Structure 1
Amino acid sequence: MPAMYLSALYRYPLKSGRGESLASARLDALGLQGDRRWMLVEAATGRFLTQRLLPQMSQLSALWNAAGGLTLSAPGRTSLEVALPDPDAELRGVSVWRDTLRVPDAGDAAAAWLSDFLGRACRLVQVPDSRARQVDTGYAQPGDKVGFADGFPLLLIGQASLDDLSARVGRSLEILRFRPNLVVQGSAPYAEDEWQRIRIGTLEFDVAKGCSRCVLTTVDPQSGERSTDREPLTTLETYRERDGEVYFGQNLINRGTGSLALGMEVEVLA
């Protein structure tokens, strides 16, 4: 293996749903193909829903298929196939943080299945490339777009950073608490904080900014339960706080499209 290499790849087809471990993946204009292109919103308001409000979303599996649709499944439920909606049919106004946009609704069957599982009236929506959001131009170029991820197309974490945090907390922490797309093996703890541009295989990435963390990191990705001791946030606050925010991992913007695979060399360009 190279000194530094890509050791894990994750996709989250549904924002705040279960993660999907991959051996390889395509990157398109919005990051990993199929990553966070689907989202749940409150039926009445269009406001986005995540594990911050509904920890049980961690038990919701939404597997992306090559046609762009989803297979929804959850414990004790019959799975449901959801087709990719027509990009111009039944547009619904939704909001993600400070962004508002109009995107296709996935229909009544998906809404009923999800509302029943979550005990809350919701709708499932999908973002076509043509309706994606502009990334904050304080950290990106005009024309850089993101789907339903919080702010950036990709999130990277160094395995050594997770190992260091686990040692400080006193128990092994699951990487999926932090919902990275890319995990890098072979770097020093928090080395990614200093990177500005990297190459993985033949693809280059701008390292846009650190990722500020929230209560979602305290949700056990297996059980969906919040940790009673507020870990790992409590420990992160002791040494990773800056300007009132707690940072762990780095947000990336891919410069170009292509493929990634586990084991590819990671090079720091700047």
Structure 2
Amino acid sequence: MHLAALYRYPLKSGRAESLASADLGALGLAGDRRWMLVEAASGRFLTQRLLPQMSQLSALWSATGGLTLSAPGCSSLEVALPQADGNLREVSVWRDNLSVPDAGDAAAEWLSAFAGRACRLVQVPESRARQVDTRYARPGDQVAFADGFPLLLIGQASLDDLSTRVGRPLEMLRFRPNLVVQGSAAFAEDGWKRIRIGALEFEVTKGCSRCVLTTIDPQTGERSVDREPLATLKTYRERDGEVYFGQNLLPRGIGELQVGMPVEVLE
């Protein structure tokens, strides 16, 4: 088995960046989901669930931590990394409430025009990250703006199995993984507890429950009229009222990941 693909999503629910290599830290891949769009009035997080056009929003991460925003029909905008303790805004991600830096009015105006609603852009420094649910993690395990865990892994064979059942090829980016593994059997990752990629170890914590976001074409931003692939997933991947596809991971070390690295199941 080997690591077949690496993806980073600098802006939660924005377009993916395909990477050949990436630094891995306590919060996952460097620059992954460190930025988020929120409602201006409430601070509630915004995603493709409400704004499917976010699938067309590119937010390229720079080594300095800033972003370059771009979208079809829009001029690009450079956004600087805000001060970790300056211009804080109260925001919410699911059940978590936190205070994080606001990126300023220029970014807010650009994104509000794109989204068609008043919104703000916020960033989470490592010092303000969220605790991962301690039912599945240790105290001190943290996550940035991802839904619940720092990393998501999917086996290529699992997607191939789903594509066969749906009857058409499906894009991996519908499921927004960070890590894609090739060479395993379909859904083999369901039974893994610990893995090693190169020299780096990871704890496999729980399956990833899926939602309507998987029905959005990552290329066009349009929802599938037949509600695929969620409809097919419900026929064989539903458990206790949730539909699962992919596995959430916690990193147990820091270093560099590279596409092509061997993947070993430790437990």
Within the candidate set 217, 228, 231, 1:231 is matched to 228
Once residues 233 and 167 of structure 1 are traced to their aligned partners in structure 2, the CA distance between those partners, rounded to angstroms, is: 14
Q: Deviations over 1:186-241 (max 9, x none)?
A: 00000000000000000000000000000000000000000000000000000000
Q: Deviations over 1:142-167 (max 9, x none)?
A: 00000000000000000000000000
Aligned to 1:155: 152
Within the candidate set 160, 182, 185, 2:182 is matched to 185
**Are 2:64 and 1:63 equivalent residues in the alignment?**
no
Once residues 240 and 70 of structure 2 are traced to their aligned partners in structure 1, the CA distance between those partners, rounded to angstroms, is: 40
* Pairing 1:236-247 to 2, within 5 Å after superposition: 236-247=233-244
Once residues 120 and 203 of structure 1 are traced to their aligned partners in structure 2, the CA distance between those partners, rounded to angstroms, is: 42
**Are 2:106 and 1:93 equivalent residues in the alignment?**
no
Once residues 159 and 167 of structure 1 are traced to their aligned partners in structure 2, the CA distance between those partners, rounded to angstroms, is: 12
Once residues 26 and 153 of structure 1 are traced to their aligned partners in structure 2, the CA distance between those partners, rounded to angstroms, is: 13
Once residues 114 and 264 of structure 2 are traced to their aligned partners in structure 1, the CA distance between those partners, rounded to angstroms, is: 44
Within the candidate set 6, 20, 23, 2:3 is matched to 6
TM superposition score normalised by structure 2? 1.00
Aligned-partner residue type, residue 219 of structure 1 = I
Q: CA deviation at 1:169?
A: 0.2
* Pairing 1:1-270 to 2, within 5 Å after superposition: 4-270=1-267
Q: CA deviation at 1:256?
A: 1.1
Counterpart secondary structure, 1:217: helix
Counterpart secondary structure, 2:60: strand
Percent identity between the two aligned chains: 82
Q: Deviations over 1:2-33 (max 9, x none)?
A: xx000000000000000000000001110000
Aligned-partner residue type, residue 119 of structure 1 = G
Counterpart secondary structure, 1:49: coil
> What number of residue pairs does the alignment pair up?
267
Once residues 230 and 63 of structure 2 are traced to their aligned partners in structure 1, the CA distance between those partners, rounded to angstroms, is: 36
Q: Deviations over 1:56-88 (max 9, x none)?
A: 000000000000000000001100000000001
Superposed CA RMSD in Å reads 0.3
Structure 2 stretches of 5 or more lacking a match?
Answer: none
Once residues 19 and 216 of structure 1 are traced to their aligned partners in structure 2, the CA distance between those partners, rounded to angstroms, is: 14
Once residues 88 and 205 of structure 2 are traced to their aligned partners in structure 1, the CA distance between those partners, rounded to angstroms, is: 31
